[in-house]
Amino acid sequence: MAKRIKNESQFKALIDKGYSKEKSARIANTPNAAEKGGKVSPYETWTKKELYAQAKVIGIDGRSQMNKKELINALRNN
């Protein structure tokens, strides 16, 4: 069963920019992903628990074994 894309226009724009379908879907399905920067504090100020929760929403594999620095890196690069 295919997952529903919550933000179709953002998904299509990311595909057009060359992102993979998987990464585009993850971004388009993340709550508030379309908001402009500056509204969310930097990941370094988040707790490990908050970073883990965000990694879970995005669907990052191996998150339970990651330390705070690794979670930040995974969130920025996925």
- The more confidently predicted of residues 33 and 20 is 20
**Model confidence over 35-74: pLDDT tens digits?**
555 567 888 999 999 999 999 988 899 999 999 999 999 9
CA dist 22 to 14, 61, 65, 67, Å?
11, 13, 22, 24
| Confidence check: pLDDT of 34 > 60 | no
Rounded Cα–Cα distance for residues 66 and 47 (Å): 13
